[in-house]
Structure formats: C-alpha cells, structure tokens
Amino acid sequence: MEFKGRVSIVTGASQGIGEAIALELAGAGSEIVLVDIQKDKLEEVAKKIEDKNGKASIFCADVTRMDQSIKVIESVVEDQKKIDHLVNNAGITKDNLLMRMKEEEWDAVLDVNLKGVFNFSKAVIRNMIGNRYGRIVNLSSVVGLMGNPGQCNYSASKAGVIGFTKSLSREVAARGITVNAVAPGFVVSPMTENLPESVKKMFVDMIPVKRFGVVEEIAHAVKFLLSDEAAYITGQVINVNGGMF
C-alpha cells in the first residue's frame, strides 16, 4: 500500500493511536497533517516523521470548534489543492457512573468524540466530492458496541460515530468516497495506562487473545481502509479487539 502523493489529515495526532496512525501513513509516503490542541506534542510527532524523511505539518486546533475545523481544511487545500484522507481520531474520556456524571462531563466527551467527527467531516467533504475521491476513517470503540459501566458518555459518543459513519457513507459513495470506522478494543495507550492493575487484569480476562492490543495494530487497520485496496469497502465497522466482541 503506497500513499505517495496523498495528503492525510489525522486529528488527535499528538499521542497514542493518533500518533501511530500518523507514523504509519507517513511511512507509506503520505504527507501528514497533524491536528491536536497539544502543540508541543504535535511538534514531537512531526519531528519523528521528518527524521524518517517524511513530510508533516501541524495545526493546533480544537475539533469541537467548527470555525477552527474549517480553517484547518481551507489552509491545507490552499497549500496542497486537495485532501485524500481524513482520520477522525480525536477523543477523550471523562468516566463516571451516570448517577454521578456531571452535565459538563457528558458535554465534553460528546463534543470532542462525536461533534469533532461532524465538524471535520463536514469541512472536508466538499473538497473530496469535487475531486471525486476521498477516504474517511472514524475511530469508534468496542464500548460503542458493547457498552461499559461508568462510560455512558464515551459509549454514546462512539456509538454515535458508527451511526454517523454508516449514514455519511451512503451520501457520498457514488462520488468515489468511502467512509468507514475502526473500533479498537483495549490497547496500551495513555488512556489505559492509568487504569488500576486489578481493572487491567479484569479486561485482559475478557479478551480471548489474553492481552491488550498495541496502537500499531489499530494503525494497520486504518491504513488498509484508506488504501485503494479497500475501495469497495464502505459503511463498515472493523473491529480490532482481540475477539473481545
């Protein structure tokens, strides 16, 4: 899978799965546009790409803001004339039991995880339609499919991503644009590092392969869905969860 000449936007690219996706796509030859609110970390990822002779640009932007989303897309189009790939990866958690969950915890998670997907997809779709080519991959989650105690907000946002993916795929399929989702299971990442060991063991016991995934395994699935080899796949959810669900 060669991506030479392609332009790929990755949101939430400063760490974890987003960073792994950016590095994977850069290694295949794509020019990477890194988007996040953590400028210092974005610069570190860009340096990793450039140290391997790749090309990367950074945009410090808040995916919950439509105006900032549009500004990123307009800047990239002005510079590159096109956008081939969009990976909506930006996500946060604010876990709590529903009876204790604050309204702001609900709103923050839905704004980043779901509205962020809407904002960037809406901002980019006109350019892709004009070019009659595009690949969009949205990051959902295994808990968007099976649920998880203490994550009503996160589960709802990731289930919403799946519904959004299936609907948008039908709107744009005839224009040469595919829209798919990847639903990771539990992976070794900054989000899972803070879990108590007892909780980690509980989750590992639920996973048939008996381990957490690694971010590179998620990146491989995303890369495939962005490739021309996946041109006849759209509106799908690819589960990468070790058989957990």
Give the Cα separation of 112 and 97 in Å (integer). 20
Using left for φ > 0, alpha for ψ between -120 and 50, and beta otherwise, residue 220 falls in: alpha
Res 193 pLDDT > 80: no
Average pLDDT of the chain? 96
pLDDT, mean of residues 116-129: 98
How high is the pLDDT of residue 203?
Answer: 86
Residue 169 lies in a domain: yes
Indicate the pLDDT class of residue 191, thresholds 50, 70 and 90: low
How high is the pLDDT of residue 72?
Answer: 98
Give the Cα separation of 185 and 25 in Å (integer). 21
* Bigger pLDDT: 50 vs 203: 50
Q: How far is CA 92 from CA 2, 39, 45, 115, 172, in A?
A: 31, 17, 19, 12, 28
Residue 245 lies in a domain: no
Instruction: List the catalytic residue out of 106, 118, 154, 164.
Output: 154
Residue 244 lies in a domain: no
Residue 1 lies in a domain: no
Number of other CB atoms surrounding residue 215 within 10 Å: 20
In what helix (H) or strand (E) does residue 181 lie, and over which residues does it extend?
Answer: strand 177-184
pLDDT, mean of residues 14-43: 97
pLDDT, mean of residues 197-221: 93
Indicate the pLDDT class of residue 186, thresholds 50, 70 and 90: very high
Residue 18 lies in a domain: yes
Indicate the pLDDT class of residue 192, thresholds 50, 70 and 90: confident
pLDDT, mean of residues 177-205: 88
The parent domain of residue 123 ranges over: 7-239
Give the Cα separation of 189 and 200 in Å (integer). 12
Alpha helices, H only, the chain: 16-27, 39-51, 66-80, 103-110, 116-131, 143-146, 152-172, 190-193, 197-206, 215-226
Residue 2 lies in a domain: no
Specify the CATH number for the domain of residue 94.
3.40.50.720
Q: Does the predicted TM-score (pTM) go above 0.75?
A: yes
Which residues on adjacent β-strands are paired with residue 96? 151
pLDDT, mean of residues 48-64: 97
Number of structural domains (the chain) is 1
| pLDDT tens-place string over residues 144-176 | 999 999 999 999 999 999 999 999 999 999 999
Task: Look up 232 and say whether it is catalytic.
Answer: no
**Paired tokens of 218:** 């998620």
